Structure 1
Amino acid sequence: MADPIQSATSPWSVFRIFLRLGLTSFGGPVAHLGYFREEFVSRRAWFSDRSYADLVALCQFLPGPASSQVGIAIGLSRAGYAGALAAWLGFTLPSAIALVLFALGIARHPELLPAGALQGLKTAAVAVVAQAVWEMARKLCPDRPRVTLMALAAGGVLLIPHAWGQVAVILAAGCLGLLLFKPAEAAAEDALPCAIGRRTGLRFLGLFAALLLVLPLLSAALPGGAIELIDAFYRAGALVFGGGHVVLPLLQAEVVPDWVGGETFMAGYGAAQAVPGPLFTFSAFLGAAINGWLGATLCLLAVFLPSFLLVFAALPFWQALRGNPRAQAALSGINAAVVGLLLAALYDPVFTSSIERPEHFALAVAALIALVFWKVPAWFLVIACALVATLASAYV
């Protein structure tokens, strides 16, 4: 029997609304959530403030890109499963296409990228990740236990430079959170306007877990092909807590240097800051650098598939889970570890592969000041760093 999902809006209407957001939503996941609130709470009144806040809380609790998952859930609530797909396509395609074209351009015509521009993109990435570490630490590590947990997580992932090491750190942080933190029980919230049966939710959860277990086995049996690529990007999308920036170390561990060179990786990450929409579309850049449009499509679908499965699986159970203080305690520990993962990524690969000379460090510091204190948009900063580095290289 089908789930009673109410279709109050056509999928095409959902697609058009999210396409406009995908073309204009600069500024990262926090800014995206602000754009969504303005569109769907203030302007269209699809949600109350309380139900929207509850939806955001759900997607922040789950691994994966929070803003994209909120968009998927909004599309689901208005136009069923087709609406969820329409919302994701509209929000994701603009930045994905732009990054694929950038990847194909520098791969086939590297002379089109001016001397110094690549260094500027990498330097901008240092500032953007440093700002993300700072902002997340202020919010998620407000006391000494969580700051300590952040530092331990950073050291752990640097000492175990493998994707599974990062997963182990996150799991350990969740266990420590249960022991160390006792947050107050959450207040009651409005029910989310998405109706998926619990039995169907469990099926989606089972599919999510099955792919997480089966894809590595298939990848080991069929190395070097599309299955190995899908496995790497599916795991990255399934195991990342904290949003787009935290996917950086996971993807770096999976694709550098076997699939993509370190310089290309950092150039794409820098370019991803200059486009609107979700940062997870960086996967399209990497896929295009590996195998053109086919690789981009496979990597993009693989990295976002866990988001669909987890949102569909979690919605039926979220009301009860959100009020569970033990779940909140574990999440406090996980959030602190997420900041540690991002701090480790700031050092390696971001800083180590981008800052080679004193002038690079000076530009990175100036870019960080512009982001934090002058509130310069990230997309503008990336373009400015590329121009400054290009001009500097012409006079050196």
Structure 2
Amino acid sequence: MKQTWRWFGPDDPVTLAHVRQAGATGVVSALHHMNRGQAWTDEEMARRKAMIEAAGLTWDVVESIAVPEAIKTRTGDYRQKIDNHKASLRAVGRAGIKVCCYNFMAITDWTRTDLDWPLANGGTALRFDIVDFCAYDVLILKRRGAEADHPKSRIEAARQRLSSWPESKISQLERNLIDWVPARETVYDRQSFLRQLDEYRDITVDGLREHLFLFVREIAATAEEAGVRLAIHPDDPPFPLFGLPRVNSTAADTARLLEAVPSPANGVTLCTGSYGANPANDLTAMARQFGSRIHFAHLRNTRREADGSFYESEHLDGDTDMIGVVAALRDIETAGAREIPMRPDHGHLIVDDIGKKVNPGYSCIGRLKGLAELRGVMRTVDAFRAGKVH
């Protein structure tokens, strides 16, 4: 697998020099300053690519060209936004980048209640706490119909927690849930978030899925022409939030998309953390099921809890069998005579990254540790297959 690293651009506190020192040879990046639904230009693509190549690295994956809410709801100027998306894909192809990761999550991007959850070793991790989420959804945001989406026992537990929280805890939780995600094209306050939720009030799961299929049929045709492979990222978390429909949370969801749009350009980002937070998903089986349609991999691990909460665990120590996944991906590469780009995802905040300015989940040392562990697994799998290890 091609070892890559997500880099958010010139303002990323983790520099391209750090990426090389971590041992990655490829970069995953995007024109985040142009992610408001406009078309990316050849000039901006060339500028970003030149930065990456000057550091002795290659730009292997675009993550992501944003999919505006107008496209997901098929309202307003969605037709112009789709045309702009196609133009951006053509610019990506002309720049020689072969893979484009994207997601189709309504309103939210990846969502966590805690960005600095304390670990026993003194580091911190990302965490999604279902009771904290319920407290925000039902008692703070007071979303219409929210109580119907949570069991009474959870609401009562949330009410008890909220009674002891200072205002600073409430403000931080709100920021984590609706105001902060690196490189998201839109940030919200409480009122604007509620207004955006209203845009989805009449869109069902089947309706949003059909919008996804319509969108992917169009952009897959463009991607084929441009020589770009699309790699949809799963919902994160892989279950409904804020009453919004989810359409790519399970193996069955992904299979439906691949069947609906059989273009070879239409493929998957196998994100072991996002899919893995849903106990219905067997990641090793999914790797083998989707095989040649896997164009990109995010390798991270999560530890699930009985109530639906989860946290980002060590890369090799969670509910996903990472060794089995890596072995399956290496088989896919061998069968297809190709190299799948992968990147370590959502590393812990550890060592002297603690106290530094970092994008949560994207610190240097935590991801470096994850990449080193994954590299060791890849080397061991290869040695075993070659008969060098018994």
Q: Please report the TM-score for the alignment, with normalisation by the length of structure 1.
A: 0.29
TM-score (norm 2): 0.29
- Bigger fraction of residues in strand: 2
